[in-house]
A and B are shown apart, each in its own frame.
Chain A
Amino acid sequence: MTMDNKNHLHAPVPQDTRASTASVSSMPSLSPREQKPISNPYLPLQTRVETIRVETDDRMLRTFIVRFIRPDDVERFRYRPGQFAEVSLLGRGEAPIGIASSPTEGDALAFTIHRAGIVTTAIHQLRPGDLLGVRGPLGNGFPIERLEGCNLVIIGGGFAFTTLRSLAVYAMAPHHRGRFGRITILYGARRPGLLLYRSELREWQERSDIEVFVTVDAAEGEWSGRVGFVPAVTKDVAPGSDNAFALVCGPPMMIKYTLPILSDLGFPPERILLSLEMRMKCGIGICGRCNIGPKYVCRDGPVFSLAELKKLPPEY
């Protein structure tokens, strides 16, 4: 018996991949059959770095705008706000990074990357024209269908604002804006020099169809905006909870103090959505390291409602 799928790993999918132990007869057959080929989820798609923007004055965060080398990869990589990708440099490795661009912005992707470890340090050395591997899109992303028709309260802190930016841009796009109600954005950083997307924030503040509040923990230089922690500003602004979803990303302390304020404002746990970070490798729920109880952040998340998180062990 010969196997004609020997030389490449676009493997056939067995008929019933979740066969119970009782139905052993549905195990994959030794003989090749008519089965749809699938792509190898471990292979990165190659992109070329188009633009690099240093985001913060400590130079620890850079935004990389990249474009797929093979045009058909654009179609393979159809994503929604809140998803992430394993970005990689061959020879260095992979790191899970949230997608900062919105699918409404065209074919290019944006990743805002904090220099933290071996891979991200190597990525920070890249120049325009260099190659970057991208594997994804991964994770559930924000539940756009559920958000439709609702008011959005987007609350971000520090450099955890990237996928919230994707969502904000998505919801503000001309052909999407009407699908959502009021949009309120609260974003803060420790100081002005650590705010991401500063020029874009200024443009947003001038729009009449959204409300944008930008704050810093401590002012410096010519800062004339708000000063105050994100939770305090949230309390101050007091966005209404009627028919609204709160979408929260930020450092643990910010989240810890913001959640009770959202509860006080009347947001039920089902309408508070958080995006989590975890160490990841495979990104597809197999390698085992990003679990919180029975859930895998890479596959079941990274976006969870507070109601879902309350049912899970506090191990994140």
Chain B
Amino acid sequence: MRRGTITREDLNELIRRWTAERKVIAPVRRDVVELSPVGSADEIAMDYSNTQLPTKRHFFRPSEVLLRFDLRAAPDRHVVEAESDADPTVLFGVRPCEARSHTLLDRVFLREPYCDPYYQQRRANTAVVVLGCTSAGPTCFCTSVGGGPNDHAGADLFLTEIEHGREAHAAIYLLDVVTERGASLLTGFDLPEADAGLIEHASRAAAELAATLKTIADLERIRTAAQTAFDDPVWQAICLSCVGCAACAFLCPTCHCFDIQDEVSGGRGRRVRNWDACSFAHFTLHASGHNPRPERHQRCRQRILHKFTWFPENFGAAACVGCGRCIRACPMGNDIRRWLEAIGKKV
């Protein structure tokens, strides 16, 4: 891995070049910090904790047209494939936990023998430039789930601010070239090698920051909860304060459940997939009226066990990146860290 240094000014120049030939999506400060297509580097917020919405929406759209149809056409032309909007894109300045979530979603959407072409195309056409964390928010717990402020998973380029500078354009960054795709973003740009002292300084800072993050419950133990605590009353206890709104699922960088619905008018229409969530009772409701998970505690249990037992079993890692959005968004003040502690005591 090549490691160089880059000034904010040079970075802005790079971004200018990228915007000329592809879409650049980056954090922008409005009422909240959100990801948005940008036309110039000046619009980009580099001093933020995390975006309000996760980056999964860039690859896995809240609503996606799977196909269009026209029932007035000849029978073998009723179905028209949806046109892809997967333009070459740079996802710039996202946090390490977000980039890590992409590698988790890959395991679901790109699992052989099926490959989700909508997700895959956007993923293949998007380079991810990660901005390492120099501070942690009050609900961050990435180090408990395998991530960290310096986690390079899912990054093509990885930036770490090493000198803030008195003015924004004076900042200096360590720039790690993680993948070939990352290197291709730097074509024609002369990246000065970073000296060993700077690298050492940056990794020490990241380690110090990581050390400030408290480790939540022992996830290795929680992996066994499906076997040892499936029928424990703890699920009823934690679900008492859940209203089943699914805000946690929609804001989760790794939740990926969806529904498929047809929309039609005058013989023309589209088949659309929309985000859905296991928090809803109708999610599993059969047409016969039978429901495998009719009770809220069953649905809370499903959410937790999927993330911390079954996803690890199927894909080798927890389906959680510790971004803490679910904690901030819960209208009932539920905190997944407390839930995991409570469950951990039962296994």
- Contact assessment for B21 and A20 in the assembled complex, using a CB-CB cutoff below 8 Å: no
For B109, the chain A residues whose CB sits under 8 A away are 286
- Contact assessment for A288 and B117 in the assembled complex, using a CB-CB cutoff below 8 Å: no
For B256, the chain A residues whose CB sits under 8 A away are 286, 288
Using CB atoms, name the residue of chain B closest to A7. Answer: B83
For A288, the chain B residues whose CB sits under 8 A away are 256-258, 276, 278, 306
Asked whether A199 is an interface residue with its Cβ less than 8 Å from the other chain, the reply is no
- Contact assessment for B154 and A17 in the assembled complex, using a CB-CB cutoff below 8 Å: no
- Contact assessment for B81 and A291 in the assembled complex, using a CB-CB cutoff below 8 Å: no
B residues contacting the other copy or chain, number (CB 8 A): 85
Question: How far does the Cβ of A277 sit from chain B's closest Cβ, in whole Å?
Answer: 7
Asked whether A78 is an interface residue with its Cβ less than 8 Å from the other chain, the reply is no
- Given A40-B117, A43-B81, A294-B310; A289-B284 close (CB under 8 Å): yes
Contact stretch, chosen from B166-174, B208-216, B311-319: B311-319
Question: How far does the Cβ of A126 sit from chain B's closest Cβ, in whole Å?
Answer: 14
A60-116 with Cβ < 8 A to chain B? 69-70, 90-95, 116
How far is it, in angstroms, between the C-alpha of A292 and the C-alpha of B238 when the chains are bound? Answer: 21
For B316, the chain A residues whose CB sits under 8 A away are 20
- Contact assessment for A95 and B287 in the assembled complex, using a CB-CB cutoff below 8 Å: yes
**B-side interface mostly:** mixed
How far is it, in angstroms, between the C-alpha of A288 and the C-alpha of B299 when the chains are bound? Answer: 13
For B126, the chain A residues whose CB sits under 8 A away are 30
**Could you say which of A14, A133, A278, A313 contacts B110, with CB atoms under 8 Å apart?**
A14
**Could you say which of B75, B153, B258, B285 contacts A282, with CB atoms under 8 Å apart?**
B258
Asked whether A268 is an interface residue with its Cβ less than 8 Å from the other chain, the reply is no
For B180, the chain A residues whose CB sits under 8 A away are 25, 29
Asked whether A149 is an interface residue with its Cβ less than 8 Å from the other chain, the reply is no
- Contact assessment for A29 and B292 in the assembled complex, using a CB-CB cutoff below 8 Å: no
For A287, the chain B residues whose CB sits under 8 A away are 257-260, 273, 276
Asked whether A24 is an interface residue with its Cβ less than 8 Å from the other chain, the reply is yes
**Could you say which of A7, A9, A25, A69 contacts B118, with CB atoms under 8 Å apart?**
A9
Complex interface bits, B138-152 against A, C-beta within 8 A gives 1, otherwise 0: 000000001000001
Contact stretch, chosen from B32-40, B66-74, B327-335: B66-74
Complex interface bits, A1-15 against B, C-beta within 8 A gives 1, otherwise 0: 111011111111110
Asked whether A120 is an interface residue with its Cβ less than 8 Å from the other chain, the reply is yes
Asked whether A221 is an interface residue with its Cβ less than 8 Å from the other chain, the reply is no
For B283, the chain A residues whose CB sits under 8 A away are 279, 289
Asked whether A307 is an interface residue with its Cβ less than 8 Å from the other chain, the reply is no
For A31, the chain B residues whose CB sits under 8 A away are 181, 184
Asked whether B293 is an interface residue with its Cβ less than 8 Å from the other chain, the reply is yes
Question: How far does the Cβ of A99 sit from chain B's closest Cβ, in whole Å?
Answer: 18
- Contact assessment for A1 and B114 in the assembled complex, using a CB-CB cutoff below 8 Å: no
Question: How far does the Cβ of A138 sit from chain B's closest Cβ, in whole Å?
Answer: 10
- Contact assessment for B114 and A41 in the assembled complex, using a CB-CB cutoff below 8 Å: yes
- Contact assessment for B120 and A91 in the assembled complex, using a CB-CB cutoff below 8 Å: no
- Given A24-B103, A289-B257; A90-B287 close (CB under 8 Å): no
B83-109 with Cβ < 8 A to chain A? 83-84, 86-88, 100, 103-104, 106-109
For A240, the chain B residues whose CB sits under 8 A away are none
**Could you say which of B226, B230, B260 contacts A93, with CB atoms under 8 Å apart?**
B260
Question: How far does the Cβ of A28 sit from chain B's closest Cβ, in whole Å?
Answer: 4
- Contact assessment for A46 and B76 in the assembled complex, using a CB-CB cutoff below 8 Å: yes
How far is it, in angstroms, between the C-alpha of A276 and the C-alpha of B314 when the chains are bound? Answer: 20
For A1, the chain B residues whose CB sits under 8 A away are 21-22, 88, 184
For B244, the chain A residues whose CB sits under 8 A away are none
For A13, the chain B residues whose CB sits under 8 A away are 110, 115, 120
How far is it, in angstroms, between the C-alpha of A294 and the C-alpha of B226 when the chains are bound? Answer: 10
- Given A131-B78, A313-B226; A9-B117 close (CB under 8 Å): yes
- Contact assessment for A18 and B111 in the assembled complex, using a CB-CB cutoff below 8 Å: yes
How far is it, in angstroms, between the C-alpha of A217 and the C-alpha of B297 when the chains are bound? Answer: 37
Asked whether A22 is an interface residue with its Cβ less than 8 Å from the other chain, the reply is yes
Question: How far does the Cβ of A42 sit from chain B's closest Cβ, in whole Å?
Answer: 5
Using CB atoms, name the residue of chain A closest to B178. Answer: A24
For A46, the chain B residues whose CB sits under 8 A away are 75-76, 78-79
For A279, the chain B residues whose CB sits under 8 A away are 283-287
- Contact assessment for B258 and A6 in the assembled complex, using a CB-CB cutoff below 8 Å: no
Question: How far does the Cβ of B289 sit from chain A's closest Cβ, in whole Å?
Answer: 9
B314-347 with Cβ < 8 A to chain A? 314-317
- Contact assessment for A2 and B88 in the assembled complex, using a CB-CB cutoff below 8 Å: yes
- Contact assessment for B67 and A11 in the assembled complex, using a CB-CB cutoff below 8 Å: no
Using CB atoms, name the residue of chain B closest to A12. Answer: B124
For A19, the chain B residues whose CB sits under 8 A away are 103, 106
**Could you say which of B81, B86, B106, B146 contacts A6, with CB atoms under 8 Å apart?**
B86
Contact stretch, chosen from B4-12, B47-55, B188-196, B261-269: B261-269
For B181, the chain A residues whose CB sits under 8 A away are 27, 29-31
For B116, the chain A residues whose CB sits under 8 A away are 41, 286
Asked whether A21 is an interface residue with its Cβ less than 8 Å from the other chain, the reply is yes
A1-B21, A18-B111 known; 16 new pairs, CB 8 Å cut-off, are: A9-B121, A13-B115, A14-B120, A24-B152, A25-B180, A31-B181, A41-B115, A42-B260, A91-B262, A93-B260, A116-B287, A285-B114, A288-B256, A293-B305, A313-B226, A315-B293
> Which 6 pairs show the lowest CB-CB distances between chains A and B?
A288-B257, A117-B287, A91-B264, A17-B110, A116-B287, A21-B153
